[in-house]
Structure 1
Amino acid sequence: MIPPDRPAGTATPHDLTLLPTLLLRAPAPPPPLTGRISLGTPVVRPLTGAQAAEGDGDWGAFLESEADRYDYLLLSLVCSFRPSTDGAPFTDAGIGIRLEAPGLPADHQPIAWSLSPKRRAVPAAPSGSLTLTANLVLVDAGVEYSPGGGGQEKLFVVGMGERDSDPEWRFTATPDTPLVGDESLALIVRTPAGAPARAHVTVAATVRQRRLGLIPYRAELPPALRTVTLR
């Protein structure tokens, strides 16, 4: 476990402006939305053997075995979805991360070694700590999804893209679970040892309007959120 006195969450939330995607059926584009989504400044921490020794995890040996080739970092952020004052709810949302090591070939780019959450049917309260397995795989907190009832249960959030350079999380509102509240996201990044790396963040969402139906939006991110220096 990463010690709770070193929080895995984020600081400095930023309210995002959501810009509508052009709709051919609309006589005029809907206005931008504000006050509906905020994103905390991403927190980046290198994972070290000292951290492993302080906690109750046994991933220090794995980190040492990889030290000649790879560095591992923890990227964490919190996204907050807020209800609408005019009754226009979110139907879905997505947060994407594109990892990049400038100047390195494709087979030397950073990847998402592990991410959390992976699959969950209900929201979970943000946690103050994260648990890692011996191979630096994040252990999801909260209520996990387990297929049952004929596999008809709908997923609230799905994380995808492990071992790729473009992981993402997709959120979907369900009849019983509106897309409202805080969501903690975490990513273990594997990058070539000593290489500079960065993460490019994107946020998108769909809103159901009474008159126009489903309206897709893409967030306008400030520079501090749009591109994050990992090392």
Structure 2
Amino acid sequence: MPMGLDEAVVRGGDDDHGGADLGERVRIGGPLAVPVRPEDVEGDLRTFVAAEAGRHTYHLTHVALSLICDRGDPKFESATLSLLLSATGGAAPEPVAWSMLPQRVTEEESVTTNFRFGPELTLEPVGLSLGSVERSGTRTSARLAVEARGLLRSDPSWRLTDTPRNPIAGIHRLVLVVRGAAGAVPQAVVGVRATVRERRVLRYRSRDLPPVVIAGSL
């Protein structure tokens, strides 16, 4: 089920060169969260979810990040999508990112869009590409393009870095399983920060764009 969202653009400090707000170049789809129940899974995974039912809940959560780069726009250098997880319901502990995909993508690797649940609700990539780029090749470069951070924490994030073969402009689909306390309502604040590369006379200058933040309950 989709989160109820109130979207707001949070503006950063003034930039001496001006420029468009990040809200004009970034779109966040979702998050869409679906509870994982024993009847939704099979085998050992059903046993695991049933055993956890009295203590923890699990939500399969999808977030889509679109980075828009029209002609004449400064090129994206990097972008970070972060989630701040919390819970309502008294003294309930904070939810955490139980599993995340993609975890790490380098230039020579293909990234997957299809996934399956492994033991204990871990996400395992299967098949095609996740995100805006489908690449395969024989290059041995290991330049990091996507990295998940904050596994098993309440502040998970993905950092995307522009590379020659994997430009980050486009659509990126990010998936995580959120583990929360039974009886509590998990909530999330989603934020995006990005850096663009602007050409100046005889040099390039990096500029951080103001962030976009959305918030709601899973």
Asked if Structure 1 and Structure 2 have the same fold, meaning a TM-score greater than 0.5 normalized by the shorter chain, the answer is: yes
User: Aligned residue for 1:195?
Assistant: 184
User: Aligned residue for 2:81?
Assistant: 95
Per the alignment, in what secondary structure is the counterpart of residue 119 of structure 2? Answer: coil
Query: Given the superposition, is the C-alpha separation of residues 16 and 89 from structure 1 closer, same or farther in structure 2, using an over 3 Å criterion?
Result: farther
Gaps of 5+ in 1: 1-5
User: Aligned residue for 2:142?
Assistant: 153
Shift of 1:119: 0.4
Paired letter, 2:103: K
Mapped partners of 2:186, 2:91: distance in 1: 13
Query: Given the superposition, is the C-alpha separation of residues 30 and 143 from structure 1 closer, same or farther in structure 2, using an over 3 Å criterion?
Result: closer
TM-score, length basis structure 2: 0.79
Match of 1:215 among 200, 203, 207: 207
Mapped partners of 2:119, 2:164: distance in 1: 38
User: Aligned residue for 2:119?
Assistant: 134
Q: State how many pairs are aligned.
A: 204
RMSD: 3.3
Query: Given the superposition, is the C-alpha separation of residues 82 and 126 from structure 1 closer, same or farther in structure 2, using an over 3 Å criterion?
Result: farther
Query: Given the superposition, is the C-alpha separation of residues 17 and 195 from structure 1 closer, same or farther in structure 2, using an over 3 Å criterion?
Result: closer
Percent identity over the alignment is: 29
Query: Given the superposition, is the C-alpha separation of residues 31 and 181 from structure 1 closer, same or farther in structure 2, using an over 3 Å criterion?
Result: closer
TM-score, length basis structure 1: 0.75
**Pair 1:61-2:47 in alignment:** yes
1:12-56: CA deviations, max 9, x gaps? xxx996855444xx2x53342554221112111100111104xxx
User: Aligned residue for 1:228?
Assistant: 216
Gaps of 5+ in 2: 131-138
User: Aligned residue for 1:37?
Assistant: 26
